[in-house]
Amino acid sequence: MSYTGKYSLNSNAVAQATYKLLEERGITTTHIAELVHFLQKDYSTDLTVEDCIVHVEAVLSKREVQNAVLTGIQLDILAEEGKLISPLQEMIENDEGLYGCDEILALSIVNVYGSIGFTNFGYVDKLKPGILKKLNEKNDKDIHTFLDDIVGAIAASAASRYAHRKQAEREGATTPPLD
């Protein structure tokens, strides 16, 4: 494509691409909401998976988050197609332990929601509940080196968003925290 002068980007298109790619990679907002529920259920016994969806959607509405999702999934897809330059191809293909850029990209999501987000991210990364277990099962065709961390990070962020709001509610704040 030739450069025609002004670059302009439709934010809506970025948001739509984010949802579409997640869906194509087998991830629904309910899968992520289940992880949020897993993280928060001991603190809020009346919390339902449905309640968590709203927080997942709020996290997914942020551009920083959408950018990370698009970048990570793109790299997973290119690795599945064998299109990356060696040795990056082999590192992502084999989810090599010393690689680590998948976690760093996911931290750009968690970053938006403060320190509870970091704790939650580490916790789901260690336990791999729900959909994260499935994403980590190795087979010959699917590569989810980036996606597993991204999904964990969205869930961790949504859980912190919920926790911050719950705290504000307990303190009788008249307006909810931003975001």
Q: Which residues make up the interface to Mg ion (CB under 5 A)? A: 102, 145, 148-149
Looking at the Cβ atoms of 34 and 102, the one nearer to Mg ion is 102
**64-88 b/e with 16+ CB inside 10 Å = b?**
ebbebbbebbebbbbbeeeebeeee
Q: Please count the other Cβ atoms lying within 10 Å of the Cβ belonging to residue 6.
A: 5
Query: Do the Cβ atoms of 84 and 92 come closer than 8 Å?
Result: yes
Q: Least distance (Å) from Mg ion to the CB of residue 27?
A: 14
Kindly give the residue spans of alpha helices, DSSP state H, lying in 25-81. Answer: 29-40, 49-60, 63-80
Looking at beta carbons only, is 51 or 95 nearer to Mg ion? 95
Task: Write down the least CB distance from residue 135 to Mg ion, Å.
Answer: 9
Nearest residue to the partner Mg ion, using Cβ: 102
Q: Which is nearer to Mg ion, 134 or 165 (CB)?
A: 134
Minimum distance from residue 147 beta carbon to Mg ion (Å): 8
